Homo-oligomer: A and B are copies of this chain.
Amino acid sequence: MRYICRMQLPSKLIEDAVDQMASLPGIGKRTALRLVLSLLKKDSKDVRRFAESFIKLKEDICECSICHNLSDSPTCSICSNPSRDESLVCVVEDIRDIMAIEATHQFRGRYHVLGGIISPIDGIGPADLHITSLIDRLKSGEIKEILLALSTTMEGETTAFYLYRKIADFDLKVTSIARGIGHGDELQYADELTLGKSIVNRVPYENSLNRS
């Protein structure tokens, strides 16, 4: 694969398209070229539809004014749904987390998207996240519980603790998603930290019976 470093593309047009494709995360020049050549095999109409979907998305997408979820309208479909519980708000890093949680059909509250996670290495501090708007939502007094659903990484834990301290003055319950051995996981392959903590924080057996 060594030749890729000095890959000479036969045309400036291909070079531009490959550079653009390779600007996406995780797409190298070689993959970009494969994708661009496959695009060239499509009809002009399909290529136009492909390209225009991104322009349209960028132009017309909104951020929900309440929770920062992405949406076609100023308020997202979850925040504008009256059957969702206003008093319970789940804090997530990213809209992909909302999709993952929605797919479980186990959560009937609302969300708050931070838009990232505290990560000094990447230069992301609390001011870069949607924390002020979360505090503003709390000030309305309607929220009774905040569920912190952040990754169990160092950055996730740091962000959760920062939020926990930040919202300590409000009269509300702060919960975290349960940590432990995943359903379908084998004990012998679990990491020590997770297994150790899941023993220390053991739960009544009855709890696992009424899980769906």
Q: Residues on A close to B: CB < 8 A?
A: 3, 6-14, 16-17, 19-20, 23-27, 31, 33-40, 42, 44, 47-61, 69-72, 76-78, 94-96, 98-100, 102-104
Contact = CB atoms under 8 A, between A and B. Distances in A.
Nearest to A76: B10
A156 to B, nearest CB: 18
A100 B8 CA distance: 9
A144 to B, nearest CB: 25
Contacts of A16: 53, 56-57
Given A6-B103, A99-B3, A103-B8, A55 B51 contact: yes
A52 to B, nearest CB: 7
Contacts of A57: 13-14, 16-17, 36, 39-40, 47
Contact of A37 (B14, B51, B95): B95
A48 B55 contact: yes
A105 to B, nearest CB: 9
Nearest to A96: B33
A41 to B, nearest CB: 10
A3 B14 CA distance: 36
B103 A69 contact: no
Contacts of A70: 10-11, 14, 40
28 contacts: A3-B99, A3-B103, A6-B103, A8-B99, A10-B70, A10-B95, A10-B98, A11-B70, A13-B61, A14-B61, A16-B53, A16-B56, A20-B50, A24-B35, A24-B39, A25-B38, A37-B94, A37-B95, A39-B57, A39-B58, A40-B61, A42-B58, A47-B54, A47-B57, A47-B58, A48-B58, A50-B54, A51-B52
